[in-house]
Amino acid sequence: MFCEQAMHALCTTTSFSSLSWAWPMVPWPGGVEQDFLELPSMALEKFATEPSLLNRVAFHFSGATNAPKLDQNTIATLEKLDEWMVGTAKTKYFAMALFDLLVHSGPGPYSFNGRKGLSCQELYSSMLSHYTMLPGWLYSFSFI
């Protein structure tokens, strides 16, 4: 969490670094706009799999000079995992946007993909499973 605070302080033009970030429970005024609140942590996540950074900072916690560093296979695996399931996440957001448009275009019951009389939950599950190609039961708990 300190890294995010430091990044907010570095990205600000304010004279007081304490006004450059905000905890979620800090009342306004002060702090950053809500749409910038997560930006530094999201940017730092992207740096976490950079090979040049991992070669410099990823070593055993003891700090011993002979401590093993991450081998290139592990770094390559971390880079691949950074891209794992990205398509599913993007299609989930796409499906959620389409769900939002459909729900706000009129009252239920709803129709989707040839099925009629769907409740909100059934529509949500159907749309996500259709677009992500994953079973609908995976989304039954993420509606609320």
Strand partners, 110: 118
Structural domain boundaries in the chain? 2-82, 86-139
Q: Which residue carries 């592990």 as its tokens?
A: 74
pLDDT per position in the chain (144 positions), as tens? 556 666 666 666 767 656 666 555 455 555 556 666 677 777 777 777 788 887 777 776 666 667 667 788 888 888 888 788 788 888 888 999 999 999 999 888 999 999 999 998 889 888 988 998 887 666 555 444
Strand partners, 118: 110
pLDDT for 43 equals 75
Cβ(102)–Cβ(110) below 8 Å = yes
pLDDT for 143 equals 45
pTM here is 0.51
Q: Which of 110, 86, 85, 109 is nearest to 98 (CA)?
A: 110
pLDDT for 83 equals 80
